[in-house]
A and B are shown apart, each in its own frame.
Chain A
Amino acid sequence: MHDVVLDKIRKTYNKNSLVAVDNVSLSVNKGELFGLIGPDGAGKTSIFRILTTLLLPDGGNASVSGYDVVKDYKIIRNHVGYMPGRFSLYQDLSVEENLNFFATLFGTTIKENYDLIKEIYVQIEPFKTRRAGKLSGGMKQKLALCCALIHRPTVLFLDEPTTGVDTVSRKEFWEMLKRLKSQGITIMVSTPYMDEATLCERIALIQSGKILSINTPANVIAQFPQNLFAIKSTNMSGLLKDLRDFGNIESCNAFGEYHHITLSDESDATQHELKTYLESKQHENIVLQSTTPTIEDCFIQLMNNQDGGNSN
């Protein structure tokens, strides 16, 4: 059964001049941890706001837990939890007051659903009398999550919960999500960090309002159409330029310690030719090896494909 369904959803702004969401169709299974992966301006927030009934689509249909986002908005609001990208709790209420307030709004109490938030709440409980506005970024995030959960939603929408958060806190946050998922809550989460994609069960890669791919992370990677090579030398910025000038290079992107490249001809002879060419350009300690694509490799490949398609 699907808990979230989007069918050709479209949303435009500025008198139709800006297409934020362009005929997006996708569905999220009950109990699934689903990731919407894409950069700023991809349309992630518009999709979340349509699903949480805060924004009306221009076209298409969408439902949450079987309820229509336009007709049944009142029911949906009782059933979903939403953590917006921008901190939107009451800054001048304390931690405890915020949580109480949201529990009351949904006709419940902290006590009734404490088991669901306990693991997260104990981390901020020592500061329960502190005003929300005075909390650190990490603590604000935990409080916002507690407030989004306090009415025991069936579907949880998290819009970029880890943006601007350091690696350590990001890891902790994803651990929390896994535990929530094990309690049967359907979770739809968005992120601009491609490396977080592999932590989801299924992902939709999205760019400029269009879906590039929907699949499990493993299948997205398996569908990368070519062999990918990692290459490095002692002069990495020079290497990038020289690689782009090599005839058989199809794509060439910096990826941290290595550059990732695809070749239009993957034969051993071409690989050898490439090394010889780079040596002639004074590159030293050249390492060329096969590598497994990351989600980011796939995203770039799909993005370039789409751009190519558009210009033709």
Chain B
Amino acid sequence: MAEIVIKAEKLTKRFGDFIAANEITFDVYAGEIFGFLGANGAGKTTAMRMLCGLSTPSSGKAIIAGFDIYKQTESIKKNIGYMSQKFSLYEDLTVIENITFFGGIYGLSDKEIKEKSEILIQQLGLQGVTKKLVGSLPLGWKQKLSFSVAVLHEPKIVFLDEPTGGVDPVTRRQFWDLIYEASDKGITIFVTTHYMDEAEYCNRISMMVDGVVKALDTPSNLKQEFAAGTMDEVFFELARGAKRKGD
């Protein structure tokens, strides 16, 4: 059995009377692409914030990359990468400044940053634009660069919060090529998405509804279980009974 890099046991977050995440329990294995799906308001963001060490749970246990979610949040932050569509890179810094900045934040030495940024720039074919402001780059390039920056320090896990929202269909697929590459290197991918074809690219999927994990399995098993032809139908079956609406 592969190493467990995320272990959540009855993880719960309350805001007053409201239980945003209710006793969620699951394991994620090293190198796995784990799809974290749910309707708006299901509690995904709350759960993700806890797993990244940004929000203290009300109760329950979790170990992330070997570190305790209550006591070792700083170690967790050093051993994970994070990227979302909303927050990724600084638009008013250049490509190279962004890489240097995030490399520094993630604790890399100047030497490591120099070496890694050269490799990264070459891999992404950004040689001509290293001194350009990130804000002036096409969205597709930004998304690819921000993913590469999020895994620059070779974290055990990278959290991707709707990384491909609004991206054109060709770039969206190139983005998944990067995800596969990272996964092949042993980096665990924890990803949320609204695109149901992308749910198919995950090794396993969890579906949150009203604060609880309502289903967790491989895409093909889920389709079988719900007698559905596509992941879209599985999602619809599970989410249409949701009581909470919106985020």
Task: State A156–B194 Cα separation when bound (angstroms).
Answer: 26
Contact B166–A166 (Cβ < 8 Å):
no
If A136-B247, A167-B196 touch, whether A300 touches B40 (CB-CB below 8 Å) is no
Contact B197–A41 (Cβ < 8 Å):
no
Contact B246–A167 (Cβ < 8 Å):
no
Output the residue of B38, B169, B177, B198 with the most chain A CB within 10 A. Answer: B169
Output the residue of B162, B168, B231, B242 with the most chain A CB within 10 A. Answer: B168
Contact A166–B167 (Cβ < 8 Å):
no
Rounded to whole Å, the gap between the CB of B211 and the closest CB of chain A is: 14
Contact B194–A166 (Cβ < 8 Å):
yes
- Find residues 1-48 in chain A having any chain B CB closer than 8 Å to their own CB: 38-42
Contact B170–A163 (Cβ < 8 Å):
no
Contact B232–A167 (Cβ < 8 Å):
yes
Interface residue? B235 (CB, 8 A): yes
Q: Which of B177, B201, B220, B239 contacts A168 (CB 8 A)?
A: B239
Rounded to whole Å, the gap between the CB of B60 and the closest CB of chain A is: 25
Output the residue of A136, A165, A254 with the most chain B CB within 10 A. Answer: A254
Contact B39–A254 (Cβ < 8 Å):
no
Rounded to whole Å, the gap between the CB of A236 and the closest CB of chain B is: 8
Rounded to whole Å, the gap between the CB of B212 and the closest CB of chain A is: 16
Interface residue? B173 (CB, 8 A): yes
Interface residue? A96 (CB, 8 A): no
If A41-B138, A166-B239, A237-B180 touch, whether A139 touches B245 (CB-CB below 8 Å) is yes
Task: State A123–B44 Cα separation when bound (angstroms).
Answer: 24
Interface residue? B97 (CB, 8 A): no
Rounded to whole Å, the gap between the CB of A196 and the closest CB of chain B is: 12
Contact A164–B170 (Cβ < 8 Å):
no
Interface residue? A138 (CB, 8 A): yes
Contact B242–A168 (Cβ < 8 Å):
yes
Interface size band for A: 35 or more
Residue of A nearest to B198 (CB): A256
Task: State A163–B195 Cα separation when bound (angstroms).
Answer: 11
Task: State A171–B177 Cα separation when bound (angstroms).
Answer: 30
Contact B247–A39 (Cβ < 8 Å):
no
Contact B201–A254 (Cβ < 8 Å):
yes
Task: State A288–B190 Cα separation when bound (angstroms).
Answer: 31
1/0 per residue A37-65: CB within 8 Å of B? 01111100000000000000000000000
Residue of A nearest to B240 (CB): A168
Residue of B nearest to A14 (CB): B136
Interface residue? B66 (CB, 8 A): no
Contact A40–B246 (Cβ < 8 Å):
no
- Find residues 212-247 in chain B having any chain A CB closer than 8 Å to their own CB: 219-220, 230-232, 235-236, 239-240, 242, 244-247
Q: Which residues of B contact A168 (CB under 8 A)?
A: 39, 235-236, 239-240, 242
Contact B236–A167 (Cβ < 8 Å):
yes
Residue of B nearest to A170 (CB): B194
1/0 per residue B150-180: CB within 8 Å of A? 0000000000001001111111010011001
Rounded to whole Å, the gap between the CB of A275 and the closest CB of chain B is: 21
Output the residue of A135, A237, A303 with the most chain B CB within 10 A. Answer: A237
Q: Which of B168, B199, B235, B239 contacts A207 (CB 8 A)?
A: B168
Contact B194–A167 (Cβ < 8 Å):
yes
Contact A39–B139 (Cβ < 8 Å):
yes
Contact B247–A256 (Cβ < 8 Å):
no
Contact A303–B168 (Cβ < 8 Å):
yes
Contact A137–B138 (Cβ < 8 Å):
no
Output the residue of A137, A167, A192, A303 with the most chain B CB within 10 A. Answer: A167
Q: Which of B165, B196, B198, B232 contacts A164 (CB 8 A)?
A: B165
Task: State A221–B239 Cα separation when bound (angstroms).
Answer: 30
Question: Chain A: residues with CB nearer than 8 A to chain B?
Answer: 38-42, 135-140, 163-169, 171, 192-194, 207, 236-237, 240, 253-257, 296, 299-300, 303-304
Question: Chain B: residues with CB nearer than 8 A to chain A?
Answer: 38-41, 138-139, 162, 165-171, 173, 176-177, 180, 184, 194-201, 219-220, 230-232, 235-236, 239-240, 242, 244-247
**Contacts A/B (CB < 8 Å), 21 sampled:** A39-B139, A39-B168, A39-B169, A135-B246, A136-B246, A137-B247, A138-B246, A139-B245, A164-B162, A165-B40, A166-B40, A168-B39, A168-B236, A168-B240, A171-B236, A193-B195, A194-B169, A240-B180, A253-B169, A254-B173, A255-B197
Sorted nearest first, the 10 A-B pairs with minimum C-beta distance are: A136-B246, A256-B197, A138-B246, A39-B168, A40-B166, A256-B200, A137-B246, A166-B39, A237-B180, A137-B247
